[in-house]
Amino acid sequence: MPLILDSTSPNPDIQSSTMAEDYKPLLPAIVVLNRRYLITGNSAAAKVGAAAFAASVVQAFVERGIFLGMILYQRDEDIVDPYISSEAFSSISTVTVSFNFHMDPSKVANALLSCIKILKATNPMEGTPMLYYQTDTLMEYHPRHIPSCVTHHGPFFGSFATIFSKEAAALAFGSMEKAEHLERQQDKGIEIIKGRENAFVLQHSKLQGNFLSSKGVTALRELCPPIELLTETEETKDELPENITEWFNFDGVVMFTAVARLDYFKNIDLLVDAAILLCARGIPLRVFVAGGEQPDSMEHRALMDKVPSQYQHLFLLVPKVSRSALYSLFAVARHTGIFICPSRYETLGITPLEAALNGVTTVISNSSVVEASRFYPDEFRFSPNPEDLSNLIVQLSGPRGTLANSGDLIRLHVGKSIQGSKFRSDLLDAWSDFSVQYLSTLVNYVPAVQPPLCLETAPHDFGSGMKGQTRVIA
């Protein structure tokens, strides 16, 4: 299969295959991710769910032998032309493209082509690479003749505003201006997908998939969520701070949650309100919340301000924790902790599913717009109000060991639907189908007429570990 990278490539020569008729090709894979969300190891905390998902995708592609590398992108408002730098993280070839939205789109597209060439030269593979985006941010710059795939991790404005309201969307996304900008960007991305034969969608969420289908997107496949337990060699048991470990050494119940961001979607206020009700009833209780970037953040203070002073010593709020620390947290929480997912809107919900699969008693908002909820039995769901959540906590509480038993029950129930091997098979089957569909479009491929791509080296400081800077000139 030919590698088609620049707009001056000749028409490809499609040759008949001598392989078996049931052979299904797999195009080389390049994962595209916001550089801020890169996870460099289990000791790093994921900033968003897309980062943990991308790590699982990369692992599956590496195991299958089709992974070329990663394209990371970052905004830089101080440059006129895109810049490219090459580096490696954990032996993974990585290219970073710096750009901004004021640039000529053709220059950014050429920069993406250059990134593909660099990765292809570093790790030669047969076939045109398919770029796998974790958001539609760069879709408008994606070279039309290169196959692409996207997973939408964040909420769609149209979906959220329809279910709640535009005013709620403005609150959730930061402002009405930001919400409307997001709506325009998402609508543009959907139209790009619908208008290209070589653009595909992978969704890990029925909520997202249903919305895209309602907008006329048909090149769509669903994935089993990529929930996988850490192996013994990956586990880090000593990473959890002692004060957190001791917090769970308690004769009562510890209501706890762990999120990347403390935002409107996560609805941590509901957990706090339910805990206050239980404190007022004299229930032996502690609360632990991990989330956000900094200790004693504005979000932390806003939550603590809700708590009456006589109960504040029962609440411990810390910044988000790394993946290995999270799994250590699950281990210490099995006998006294109940993991709470109070989200008002969740396109997936990886962490509550991880908690359940680790045998932690886990409860979740009973809502059709909290995707992970569909994997839980009814007795572990609550109507999203403080009274119902507090009543469920009392119902699940009991003598020491009760929570470990209920944790085993939910682990078995959720484990019937969520398996790491199912995610990998879903991903690779879909990738193969998309590869076949892309190859079928090559017969009619006509290259666009654009000026050739020129590259010149130029010094530019991107920080430690960055090298090989390249200025892209359209």
Q: What is residue 420's predicted lDDT score, i.e. its pLDDT? A: 75
- Pairwise CA distance, residues 170 & 148, whole Å: 31
Number of structural domains found in the chain: 2
Q: What is residue 429's predicted lDDT score, i.e. its pLDDT? A: 96
Are 464 and 327 contained in the same domain? Answer: no
Helix axis angle, 268-280 to 386-396, nearest 10°: 60
- Consecutive 10-residue averages of pLDDT for the chain (474 residues): 32 33 81 85 56 90 96 96 88 93 95 96 93 93 96 94 94 95 94 96 93 95 82 55 95 96 96 99 97 91 97 97 91 96 95 96 97 96 98 91 92 90 94 95 58 38 39 42
Measure CA 258 to chain center. Answer: 15
Q: What is residue 41's predicted lDDT score, i.e. its pLDDT? A: 55
Q: Which residues share a beta bridge with 94?
A: 70, 87
* Domain end point (choices 393, 415, 437): 415
Which residue is it, tokens 């279910």?
A: 163
Are 404 and 459 contained in the same domain? Answer: no
| Within a domain: 168 | no
Are 398 and 428 contained in the same domain? Answer: no
User: pTM for the full model?
Assistant: 0.82
| Within a domain: 319 | yes
Count of CB atoms situated within 10 Å of the CB of 126: 10
Token representation of residue 264? 């409107």
* Domain end point (choices 415, 432, 454): 415
Are 320 and 409 contained in the same domain? Answer: yes
Question: Phi and psi dihedrals of 309, rounded to 5?
Answer: -55, -35
Are 52 and 107 contained in the same domain? Answer: yes
Q: What is residue 398's predicted lDDT score, i.e. its pLDDT? A: 81
Token representation of residue 232? 């013994």
Q: What is residue 2's predicted lDDT score, i.e. its pLDDT? A: 29
Structural domain harbouring 60:
29-151+420-473
Measure CA 37 to chain center. Answer: 9
Contact 173, 193 (CB under 8 A): no
* Domain end point (choices 415, 442, 457): 415
Are 391 and 289 contained in the same domain? Answer: yes
Dihedral angle at the C-alpha atoms of 325, 331, 337, 342, nearest 10 degrees?
50
Q: What is residue 444's predicted lDDT score, i.e. its pLDDT? A: 58
Count of CB atoms situated within 10 Å of the CB of 131: 23
Nearest to 204 by CA among 409, 36, 424, 432: 424
For Cα atoms 371, 372, 373, give the angle at the middle one, nearest 5 degrees.
Answer: 90
| Within a domain: 216 | no
Q: What is residue 15's predicted lDDT score, i.e. its pLDDT? A: 31
Contact 151, 189 (CB under 8 A): no
Are 369 and 438 contained in the same domain? Answer: no
| Within a domain: 123 | yes
Helix axis angle, 402-415 to 386-396, nearest 10°: 110
| Within a domain: 235 | no
Are 142 and 251 contained in the same domain? Answer: no
Nearest to 67 by CA among 399, 424, 310, 452: 424
Contact 32, 71 (CB under 8 A): yes
Are 321 and 466 contained in the same domain? Answer: no
Q: What is residue 473's predicted lDDT score, i.e. its pLDDT? A: 41
Exposed, middle or buried by CB within 10 Å (0-12, 13-18, 19+), for 223? buried
Are 368 and 467 contained in the same domain? Answer: no
Are 358 and 432 contained in the same domain? Answer: no
Q: What is residue 458's predicted lDDT score, i.e. its pLDDT? A: 38
Contact 249, 233 (CB under 8 A): no
Angstrom CA distances, 334 to 130, 202, 245, 268, 352, stand at 42, 34, 12, 21, 14
Token representation of residue 20? 């078996």
Are 380 and 446 contained in the same domain? Answer: no
- The CATH number of the domain holding residue 312 is 3.40.50.2000
Q: How many residues are given for the chain? A: 474
Q: What is residue 76's predicted lDDT score, i.e. its pLDDT? A: 96
Nearest to 199 by CA among 128, 134, 145: 145
